[in-house]
C-alpha cells in the first residue's frame, strides 16, 4: 500500500504540477495607461506605460526569494509579505505585445518581480516599429504579463492613452499622471485594507510608503512631479522617503562618466535633494552649509578655546566649500552666514566683561 501511494504521488508531481501551477497562480492585469512628456528633455524615458495588476500574495508568496512576514492573518486568508518585491525574476515578464500576442522584443520586455495588488511601469525611449502612441493604441497593441516557467499563460490589457485629468487644471501629461496615481493609490489602499493615509494622505500627497509604488511606475517621478509627494521640509522627519533607489545612484554615476554633471556637483545634489528629501536644491545646499558652519565652528572653539577662531572657521569653511560645490547659491550662503555672524557678535559682546 505504501509503495502504491508513493507511485501515485510521483505521478501527480511529475504530470500534474504544471497544471496545478496554472490553476493556483492567478494573474489579473486591470489596465495599461500610456503617458508621455513626463520628463523634460534630454531624457531616455519618453513614454511611460503605467500598469495596474494583481498577483495575490496569498498564492504567489511561495515564489518569493524572501518570504519574511508572509503569514496568514488569524481567521482570514490575508497575507501581507514584508518583501513582496522579491519574486523570482525567472518566472514572469511584462512587456509591450502586438495585437497577435507576440512581443515586440527584449527592448520592450522586462522581468516582473513584485506580487500583490499594485502598480508597475514600462519606461521606454522609442515606441516599437516607429509607431506613435496613438497608432500603438489603435492597432490593438497590449501590455502583457507572460510566464517563463510557471505555465500560467499570457494575460494582457489594451493600451489606453491617458485623458484629461481635471477640467479646471491645465491639461498636461504631468497633471494626468498626478491624477492617475492619486486615484490608483487610493484604490490600492482600499482594496488591500490598509489603514487610511498609509499610502496617500487625505490631501492627495503620496506618503513614504506610497513612494515604493510610484518608483515602480517610474523611478524619478519625485523629481518630475514633486508636488505629488508628502515629503518636504515639514514632513522630512515624519514620513521619510526610503533610501532604496539604486536607479538614482546609477544615473548619477553614468552622468559623471559621460561628463554631463562632472562640472556641476550642485546639479547632482539637486537630484539627491528632490529624490530623497523632497526639497529644492537651494534648500538642501543651504541646510548642508549651515550644518557645516556649526560643526566646524564648534569644533574649532572646543579645540582652541577661542571665540574668535571658532567664529572665523565657522564662517570661512562653508564659503570655501561653496565656491567648489555650489557656486550658484554662494550669495545666499554668504548672506545667511552674515546673519548668523551678527547673532554671534551680539552673543560674544554680551559675554565680554565691561
Tens digit of each residue's pLDDT (9 = 90 or more) over 124-149: 999 999 999 999 999 999 999 998 76
Tens digit of each residue's pLDDT (9 = 90 or more) over 79-132: 788 899 999 888 999 999 999 989 999 999 999 999 999 999 999 999 999 999
pLDDT at 21 (0 to 100): 42
- Residue 351: is its pLDDT beyond 80? no
3-state secondary structure 52-120: EEEECHHHHHHHECCCCCCCECCCCCCECCCCCCCECCCCEEEEEECCCCCECCHHHEEECCCCEEEEE
52 contacts: CB under 8 Å, gap ≥ 6: 29, 30, 31, 118, 119, 184
Q: Which of 28-42, 255-269, 312-326 has the lowest mean pLDDT?
A: 255-269
255 contacts: CB under 8 Å, gap ≥ 6: 261, 268
pLDDT at 155 (0 to 100): 93
SS3 of 229, please? strand
- Answer for the pair 215, 141: CB distance below 8 angstroms, yes or no: no
The residue among 250 and 302 whose pLDDT is bigger is 302
Tens digit of each residue's pLDDT (9 = 90 or more) over 296-308: 777 777 787 777 7
pLDDT at 70 (0 to 100): 86
- Residue 259: is its pLDDT beyond 70? no
pLDDT at 301 (0 to 100): 75
Tens digit of each residue's pLDDT (9 = 90 or more) over 12-55: 333 333 333 444 568 999 999 999 999 988 888 999 999 999 99
pLDDT at 304 (0 to 100): 77
Q: What percent of the chain has pLDDT over 90?
A: 40
Q: What angle do CA 195, 200, 204 make, to 5 degrees?
A: 135
Domain regions of the chain by residue span: 27-240, 281-351
- Residue 269: is its pLDDT beyond 80? no
- If we measure between CA atoms, which residue out of 123, 99, 141, 159 comes closest to residue 39? 123
- Answer for the pair 197, 206: CB distance below 8 angstroms, yes or no: no
- If we measure between CA atoms, which residue out of 312, 245, 315, 314 comes closest to residue 278? 245
* Cα 331 to Cα 81: distance, rounded to the nearest angstrom: 50
- All three cell numbers of 338: 552674515
At which residue does the C-alpha cell 518581480 appear? Answer: 113
Computed over every residue of the chain, the mean pLDDT equals 76
Amino acid at each position: 500500500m505504501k509503495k502504491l501511494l508513493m507511485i501515485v504521488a510521483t505521478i501527480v508531481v511529475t504530470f500534474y504540477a504544471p497544471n496545478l501551477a496554472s490553476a493556483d497562480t492567478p494573474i489579473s492585469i486591470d489596465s495599461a495607461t500610456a503617458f508621455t512628456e513626463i520628463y523634460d528633455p534630454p531624457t531616455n524615458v519618453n513614454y511611460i506605460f503605467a500598469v495596474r495588476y494583481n498577483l495575490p500574495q496569498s498564492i504567489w508568496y511561495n515564489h518569493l526569494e524572501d518570504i519574511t512576514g508572509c503569514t496568514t492573518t488569524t481567521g482570514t486568508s490575508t497575507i501581507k509579505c514584508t518583501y513582496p518585491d522579491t519574486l523570482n525574476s525567472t518566472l514572469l515578464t511584462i512587456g509591450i505585445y502586438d495585437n497577435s500576442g507576440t512581443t515586440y522584443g527584449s527592448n520592450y520586455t522586462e522581468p516582473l518581480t513584485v506580487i500583490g495588488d499594485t502598480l508597475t511601469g514600462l519606461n521606454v525611449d522609442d515606441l516599437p516599429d516607429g509607431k506613435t502612441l496613438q497608432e500603438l493604441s489603435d492597432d490593438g497593441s497590449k501590455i502583457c504579463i507572460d510566464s517563463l516557467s510557471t505555465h500560467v499563460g499570457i494575460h494582457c490589457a489594451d493600451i489606453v492613452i491617458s485623458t484629461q485629468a481635471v477640467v479646471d487644471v491645465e491639461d498636461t501629461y504631468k497633471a494626468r499622471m498626478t491624477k492617475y496615481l492619486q486615484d490608483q493609490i487610493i484604490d490600492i489602499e482600499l482594496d488591500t485594507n490598509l489603514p487610511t493615509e498609509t499610502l496617500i494622505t487625505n490631501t492627495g500627497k503620496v506618503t513614504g510608503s506610497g513612494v515604493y509604488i510610484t518608483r515602480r511606475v517610474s523611478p524619478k517621478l519625485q523629481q518630475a512631479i514633486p508636488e505629488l509627494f508628502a515629503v518636504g521640509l515639514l514632513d522630512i522627519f515624519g514620513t521619510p522617503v526610503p533610501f532604496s533607489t539604486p536607479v538614482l545612484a546609477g544615473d548619477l554615476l553614468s552622468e559623471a562618466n559621460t561628463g554631463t554633471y562632472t562640472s556641476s556637483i550642485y546639479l547632482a545634489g539637486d537630484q539627491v535633494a528632490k529624490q530623497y528629501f523632497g526639497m529644492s536644491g537651494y534648500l538642501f545646499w543651504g541646510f548642508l552649509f549651515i550644518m557645516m558652519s556649526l560643526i566646524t565652528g564648534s569644533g574649532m572653539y572646543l579645540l582652541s578655546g577661542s571665540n574668535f577662531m571658532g567664529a572665523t572657521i565657522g564662517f570661512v569653511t562653508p564659503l570655501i566649500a561653496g565656491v567648489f560645490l555650489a557656486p550658484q547659491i554662494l550669495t545666499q550662503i554668504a548672506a545667511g552666514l552674515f546673519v548668523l555672524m551678527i547673532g554671534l557678535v551680539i552673543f560674544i559682546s554680551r559675554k565680554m566683561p565691561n
